[in-house]
Structures are given as C-alpha cells and as structure tokens.
Amino acid sequence: MAFDIQKIRADFPILSRKVNGYPLVYLDNAATSQKPQAVIDSIVYYYSNYNANIHRGVHSLSQEATDAYEMARKTIQEHFGIKNAHETIFTSGTTHGINIVASGFTNLLKKGDEIIVSAMEHHSNIVPWQMLCERSGTILKVIPMNENGTLQFSAYEKLLSEKTKLVFVNHVSNALGTINPIEEIIAKAHEKGAAVLIDGAQACSHLKPDLQKLDADFYVTSAHKMYGPTGIGLLFMKEKWGNILPPYQGGGEMIKEVTFEKTTYACLPHKFEAGTPNIAGGIAFGAAIDYLNTINFNEIETYETELLAYATQSLLEIDGLKIYGTGPSKTSVISFNLEGIHPYDIGTIVDKLGIAVRTGHHCAQPIMEYYKIPGTVRASFSFYNTKEEVDLLVKAVKKAQLMLG
C-alpha cells in the first residue's frame, strides 16, 4: 500500500461515525464524496473570520475574502492545467456549467444542425441539450453503447459530419464507471470543426485531467464529488468561446456599464458569474484540491485500481451477481444486480448494516433501458475505502440474497 490509509481515514471525521449501530461503510462516493477536515475548517474559518462580499468593497474584510476566492481560482486553474485564470469560471456545479453552455449556443445553431451525445450520459448532460434542440431546431444524435458499457467508436465516427456543431460526452460514466476515450473523441470532432464539452463530474476524484493538453472546448465538474463542498463547480471554457457565447444570467458582477439604454458585459470570467457567488464554497473547493494534491493522484489511481479489482473479484463470487460496465478502462464504480432481486431491496438491507450504496437509475435512465433493467445497486469506492469494507459489503449482499432469494 503506497499510502497510509488509517491516516487518510482520520482526515475524514464522518468516517468514524456509526449508522444503525454499525461503523459507517460509505460506498456512495459517485453521488457525493465525504469532506476532509481541511475543507470543513476552511468553511468555518471563512465565516468566523473574514466573511464579506467580494470584488466590490474597499474595506479590509472584503479584500481578504476577494483575495482568498481569487487564490482558490488560481489553485483550480493550476490543478486542471488551464491556460488562463479567466477561463476558470465558478459555477454552482456541473449541471449549472452545462446549462450555461447549452443556453449560450441557442443563437449559434440553426435548424438542421446536428449535435452528438453518448448513450451513457447523466440526465444533466442530456436534458439541457434537448431543451437547446427545441429552441433552435437542432437534431440530437446518440453514440450507441456496447454490452460491456463502452462506446461504439466507429459509430461515433459515422455520426460526425460537416453538420455536427457540438459533441458532449462524459469523461467517466457515473452509472458504469467507464472511462471514455475523450482524447480521440475530441480530436475526431475537431477534424469536423465541431466543439466539444466534456462532463468531468465523475472523473476528477479519480483522475487529474490536463485541460490544455486535452484541448476540449468546455470541461465541467462539481467540487462535491472531489471532496469539496456542494454548490460550487468549475466551468472551463476556451477564451474564444467566452467571447462568443452570450451571458447566461444578468445581474451584478457581470457588467461593465449599465444604463437604461444599453448594458455592456464584463470580461471573462465575470461575464458568466452574475450575482454574489458561493464565496465559502469557492475557497473550500481550493482547499479540497490542496488536500488531494498532498496525497498525489498517481497514488490515488494505483490504490483505487487495486481496490476495484479486489471488489470486482469478491462480488463476482456471489451466485447470480451480474456487473454492468465491464470495459477495460474503469474507475472504482461497480454497478450490479442479483438475479431475481430488486436493487432497492438490496440497498435497504445493506443500509441496516451501516453500508451506504446507491440504488436506482443513477440519473442515467437510457443506460437502464439499454440493459432492460429497472436500476442497479452501485457501490462506488474512494481512496479512503478499504478491502475490509469490501468484505463487509460482500457479506451484507450475501445476507440480502439469503433473506430475499
């Protein structure tokens, strides 16, 4: 083991609590991750010591808060390898970021233009684009999936044409754990002159993308899935798009000059950051990234890959257990079902034993439709989970099978 797991677990206060009389086994990290003390402290410290509105005040507190918020932006920019600080836009999360882009394209598309989504997206990377299609008369095309939960790349290449204006796929599927070949997806789209948005919500707790190298036009993610707080996220957009896209919301902070005749908009990133932002959240997002980098992403990847292999092997020893998402390139997410048993019933029983897993469609109903299932049980692992916890999960699932079978 490359790093000290007990020391890491001690950084997350919630991991030492009990649920239903049992030590908590938290395996719902794909829905949201737990927060290290450093992140919690940064929020408490902000509200206890320098809470003030930013960017507007001349007073000292406002200056301190502005400096900390802008410092966090810098931390995020550097972590993601973004060229310019002003291409690093704070949002309330992935959903917000996608809506900013989808809304912004309304007048840039015309009837008959095409946009491409994949069959394994979260609803938040489907619905805003369907709404865009309704407004603009654009046609939505879907990259189909293989049985093992990977995308059909050759079908994607066939969908691309001069009509394609935009491609949007997730970096990692939240329901299957599949890591998509986004480098190739981006390169192929760019050959046709189409822009690409990558939904990184599920990727950034496991991988460290280098956005300059990746060359996506847009990349969105949520802090709460990478050990930061809820209500804050990143929208990266290339400067070029920042100048082309209109603002999403009007209000304070996003203007240069307002008169009743005409308003001119502020430059990036403020053009897309109307209103008082989640200041504490932005600062704590920076703290989460600082924390992650003390552990180091190579070690996180190595540890989680080992944990995934162990969990996959252990779960497959259960009779009648089927795993969805068995492609060669995966993060530590296991979606499964037991033959003849509803996923909800398994989730309920393992919860009685202190184990948190998610059951249902995971906001990805098209995937469930593809497999003709009502949903799955999803166990999603973080670097703070252990093999002992995997053993407890396996034991609990076996118990559920006995009770329900």
In this complex, which beta carbon is closest to ligand PLP, that of residue 239 or of residue 369?
369
Q: Three-state DSSP class for 39?
A: helix
Total Cβ atoms within 10 A of residue 265: 17
Quote the CA–CA distance of 80 and 74 in Å, as a whole number: 10
Is 33 a residue that touches ligand PLP (CB under 6 A)?
no
- Can residue 95 be called a binding residue for ligand PLP (CB under 6 A)? yes
Our answer to whether residue 363 is catalytic in this structure is: yes
Q: Would you tell me how many other CB atoms lie within 10 Å of the CB of residue 68?
A: 21
Largest CA distance in the chain: 72
CA 94 to chain centre: 6
- What is the spatial distance between Cα 331 and Cα 192, in angstroms, rounded to a whole number? 30
State the residue for tokens 């002992």: 388
Candidate ranges 43-51, 89-97, 183-191, 239-247; the one touching ligand PLP (CB under 6 A): 89-97
Which range binds ligand PLP by CB under 6 A, 121-129, 157-165, 299-307, 379-387?
121-129
Q: How far apart are CA 173 and CA 329, in angstroms?
A: 11
Structure tokens at 133: 């299609």
| 93 lines the binding site for ligand PLP (CB under 6 A) | yes
Rounded Cα–Cα distance for residues 199 and 7 (Å): 32
Point out which span in 20-28, 109-117, 122-130, 180-188 binds ligand PLP (CB under 6 A): 122-130
What string marks each residue from 195 to 224 as x (binds ligand PLP by CB under 6 A) or -? ----x-xx-------------------x--
Binding mask 224-263 for ligand PLP (x = CB under 6 A): -x--------------------------------------
For 352, the token pair is: 């009685």
When the beta carbons of 176 and 396 are compared against ligand PLP, the nearer one is 176
Residue among 271 and 358 whose Cβ is closer to ligand PLP: 358
Residue 221 beta carbon to ligand PLP: minimum distance, rounded to whole angstroms:
8
| Burial grade of 147 (CB within 10 A; 0-12, 13-18, 19 or more) | exposed
User: Six-digit token pair at 24?
Assistant: 């908590």
The residues annotated with a catalytic role in the active site are 363
Q: Footprint of ligand PLP on this chain (CB under 6 A)?
A: 93-95, 122, 124-125, 170, 174, 199, 201-202, 222, 225
